[in-house]
């Protein structure tokens, strides 16, 4: 295994001209992963740069445009000059995602293009067995020290076909929704839609974007390494090319209307500089999608921390008890609940500045710490970009007030913040996320974001980053019966899409049947108790703020409460077992030497599994099975009897199987 870092071997510095081709337009270069499974080919067609990707025998993504237009340089028409190749080791550890140790080798191909003025543009491709990451690198060759990127031609193209379908969530209009805070990555997904379908708002789709290319395989498109030096991007609506029979999705930058029109859509970069990485994950089945680590493979930590951040579990009163619970007495009850559950954190949500006040927050933190619980405090991101009144407002948006506030929190012993309602992907907003993260780390504070963009490699880039909402999260189950009716389908999407590339602060696991205070009124949960605990394994965030309420200590099954006390929130390894997005899912996650398998089902057809077949390599271990829907029970099965053990998962139900450490 060539997995040591900096195993740099220059393999070729030449154009691999196709001597048998009739046309000069067929001059191409290519780079394959070390096993030769995935190949990226790059060429030009009448000055138009393109790349294509093949994976295995059958999965082929057709030629897709490359190119940049900046306010200083025009790289929309270029000549291909060559490709330099080297082998690189991808070798690192993480402490807060779906995998703790990543080690594999990849091939890096750096393509040189030159425009008619002789100005060079580089495109770097990092090709692993199932992942391609690529970015543009802009040199500084003259006086020009900075550019604005006015347009990016990058496309992701797919072949047409009745069985080629998408799983996408639209970008919303800007400045709509609650207090004009959108877009915030909280839209519905289209499930197995034809590529010809247009997006709900006409603004294309937010990352990550999943495609099924018929029987040939699955493709996930996303991006990573976005920090304050660029904007977040998205995919356009599809455009059909009748000559080529392909659907094109183009990279789009933020809409001008985002953030109340403040800040530019077009990112500025200092030269020399790079764009973020765009990523394509390819697999014959969904395993490479569920298991991918590409979001972290190609990024590096942006600063070192002096702090030892601990992940774990928390309670938050707001999700079930809502705004009325943000008072001193109710927060003490949720601190007591966290302590009774052996959790580590309590999240005090919006309005604490008015309804508790800063002086009594000091008392509350002291009370929490006397119970062994640490505190997260909520803030609005605002700001001059929305109408949010929920306090505290206008603290995080100003560096002077932000730093003063964070020093105050540090003195009190507050351990983290949840910052809400960002509403945009402009570079200006990415700078805001980064400024909050950087200042927070100076004060030993972890950061959760809600009403926000997708994290793009942030678990590795920012040592104090915890997780982001960026999904139609648990609050919608409280707000709407429709969402409860659709809960199972939505939950069967996230392990294949949203949660594959970044931590997902879903805030779920309800034990109430009625999603309101005291379990009497409100929306009705359609999924079972075991379904709920299965989502604690299926949904990954390094701190899980569960939707428990104090009454659950009396009315929820002890089997479930005990499971929540022990379930890990960070994982050493993740494996796909079975499933189809929006229908059903079964996956396995390892913590130490213990494997947790969780399965849920949204379809009418009950899913049946032979337990021994789900993780064949684990035979010889005793297992504990959580099953029984709303009357949950534990079934212990000894290793020697595992061969005959089966589980069944009806609609809206789930199962959790724990393969105990040997
Ligand atoms: Ca939200």
Nearest to 166 by CA among 187, 192, 189, 188: 192
Can you tell me the mean pLDDT for 47-65?
97
Can you tell me the mean pLDDT for 335-352?
98
pLDDT in the model for residue 383: 87
Would the pLDDT of 329 be above 70?
Answer: yes
| Buried/exposed code over 156-188 (b: 16+ C-beta within 10 A; e: otherwise) | bbbbbeeebbbbbbbbbbbbebebebbbbbbbe
CA of 173 to the centre of ligand 1 (A): 16
Cis-peptide into 3, omega within 30 deg? no
pLDDT in the model for residue 24: 46
CA distances from 69 to 42, 44, 49, 201 (A): 19, 16, 13, 26
Alpha-carbon distance 258 to 235, whole Å? 16
pLDDT in the model for residue 14: 39
pTM of the entire structure? Answer: 0.96
pLDDT in the model for residue 22: 39
Task: Output the six-digit token pair for 534.
Answer: 């299965």
Provide the pLDDT confidence category of residue 643 given band limits of 50, 70 and 90: very high
- 569 φ/ψ angles, rounded to the nearest 5 degrees: -120, -10
Q: How do residues 645-655 score in pLDDT, each as one tens digit?
A: 999 999 999 99
CA of 471 to the centre of ligand 1 (A): 8
CA of 478 to the centre of ligand 1 (A): 12
CA distances from 300 to 226, 273, 296, 458, 565 (A): 11, 15, 8, 9, 33
CA of 155 to the centre of ligand 1 (A): 30
Provide the pLDDT confidence category of residue 382 given band limits of 50, 70 and 90: confident
Q: How do residues 498-529 score in pLDDT, each as one tens digit?
A: 999 999 999 999 999 999 998 999 999 999 99
CA of 545 to the centre of ligand 1 (A): 14
Would the pLDDT of 352 be above 90?
Answer: yes
Q: Which percentage of the chain shows pLDDT scores above 70?
A: 96
Would the pLDDT of 403 be above 50?
Answer: yes
CA of 113 to the centre of ligand 1 (A): 43
Strands 268-270 and 146-152: antiparallel
CA of 491 to the centre of ligand 1 (A): 16
Q: Note residues around ion ligand 1 (Cβ under 5 angstroms).
A: 451
pLDDT mean across residues, the chain:
95
Provide the pLDDT confidence category of residue 26 given band limits of 50, 70 and 90: low
Handedness of CA 349, 350, 354, 357 (dihedral sign): positive
CA of 506 to the centre of ligand 1 (A): 9
pLDDT in the model for residue 662: 84
CA of 423 to the centre of ligand 1 (A): 11
CA of 449 to the centre of ligand 1 (A): 9
Q: How do residues 446-456 score in pLDDT, each as one tens digit?
A: 999 999 999 99
Alpha-carbon distance 114 to 203, whole Å? 32
CA of 351 to the centre of ligand 1 (A): 16
Residues pairing with 138 in the sheet:
273
């Amino acid at each position: 295994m060539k997995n040591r870092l900096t195993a740099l071997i220059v393999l070729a510095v030449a154009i691999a001209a196709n001597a048998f081709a009739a046309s000069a337009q067929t001059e191409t270069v290519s780079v394959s992963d070390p096993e030769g499974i995935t190949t990226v080919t790059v060429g030009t067609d009448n000055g138009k740069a393109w790349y294509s990707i093949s994976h295995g025998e059958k999965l082929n993504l057709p030629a897709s445009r490359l190119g940049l237009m900046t306010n200083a340089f025009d790289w929309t028409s270029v000549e291909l000059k060559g490709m330099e190749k080297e082998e690189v080791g991808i070798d690192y550890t993480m402490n807060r995602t779906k995998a703790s140790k990543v080690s594999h080798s990849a091939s890096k191909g750096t393509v040189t293009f030159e425009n008619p003025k002789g100005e060079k543009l580089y495109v770097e491709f990092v090709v692993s067995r199932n992942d391609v990451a690529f970015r543009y690198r802009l040199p500084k060759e003259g006086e020009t020290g900075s550019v604005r990127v006015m347009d990016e031609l990058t496309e992701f193209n797919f072949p047409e076909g009745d069985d080629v379908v998408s799983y996408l969530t639209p970008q919303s209009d800007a400045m709509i929704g609650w207090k004009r805070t959108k877009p915030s990555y909280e839209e519905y997904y289209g499930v197995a839609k034809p590529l010809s379908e247009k997006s709900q708002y006409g603004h294309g789709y937010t990352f990550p974007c999943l495609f099924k290319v018929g029987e040939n395989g699955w493709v996930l498109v996303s991006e990573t390494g976005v920090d304050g030096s660029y904007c977040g991007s998205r995919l356009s609506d599809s455009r059909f090319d009748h000559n080529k029979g392909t659907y094109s999705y183009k990279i789009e930058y933020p809409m001008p209307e985002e953030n109340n029109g403040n800040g530019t859509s077009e990112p500025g970069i200092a030269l020399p500089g790079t764009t973020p990485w765009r990523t394509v994950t390819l697999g014959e089945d969904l395993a490479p999608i569920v298991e991918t680590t590409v979001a972290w493979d190609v990024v590096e930590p942006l600063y070192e921390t002096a702090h030892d951040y601990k992940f774990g579990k928390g309670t938050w009163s707001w999700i079930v008890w809502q705004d009325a619970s943000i008072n001193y007495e109710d927060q003490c009850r949720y601190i007591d609940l966290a302590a009774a559950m052996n959790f580590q954190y309590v999240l005090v949500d919006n309005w604490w500045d008015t309804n508790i006040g800063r002086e009594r927050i000091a008392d509350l933190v002291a009370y929490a710490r006397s119970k062994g619980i640490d505190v997260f405090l909520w803030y609005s991101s605002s700001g001059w970009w929305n109408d949010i009144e929920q306090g505290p407002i206008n603290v995080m948006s100003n560096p002077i007030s932000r730093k003063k506030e964070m020093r105050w929190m540090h003195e009190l012993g507050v351990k983290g913040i949840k910052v809400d309602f960002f509403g945009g992907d402009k570079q200006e907003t990415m700078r805001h996320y980064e400024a909050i993260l950087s200042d927070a780390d100076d004060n030993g504070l972890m950061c959760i974001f809600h009403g926000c963009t997708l994290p793009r490699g942030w678990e590795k880039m920012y040592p104090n980053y915890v997780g982001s909402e960026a999904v139609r999260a648990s609050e919608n189950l409280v707000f709407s019966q429709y969402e409860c009716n659709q809960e199972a389908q939505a939950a069967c999407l996230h392990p294949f899409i949203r949660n594959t590339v970044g931590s997902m602060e879903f805030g779920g696991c309800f034990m109430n049947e009625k999603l309101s205070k005291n379990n009497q009124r409100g929306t009705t949960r359609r999924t079972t108790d075991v379904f709920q605990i299965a989502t604690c394994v299926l949904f990954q965030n390094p701190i899980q703020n569960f939707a428990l309420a104090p009454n659950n200590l009396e009315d929820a099954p002890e089997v479930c409460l005990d499971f929540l006390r022990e379930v890990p929130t960070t994982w050493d390894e993740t494996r796909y077992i079975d499933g189809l997005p929006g229908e059903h899912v079964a996956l396995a996650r390892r913590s130490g030497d213990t494997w947790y398998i969780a399965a849920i089902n949204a379809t009418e057809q009950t899913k049946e599994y032979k337990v021994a077949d789900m993780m064949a390599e684990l035979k010889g271990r005793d297992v504990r099975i959580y099953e029984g829907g709303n009357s949950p029970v534990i079934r212990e099965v000894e290793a020697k009897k595992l061969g005959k053990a089966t589980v069944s998962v009806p609609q809206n139900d789930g199962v959790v199987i724990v393969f105990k450490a040997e």
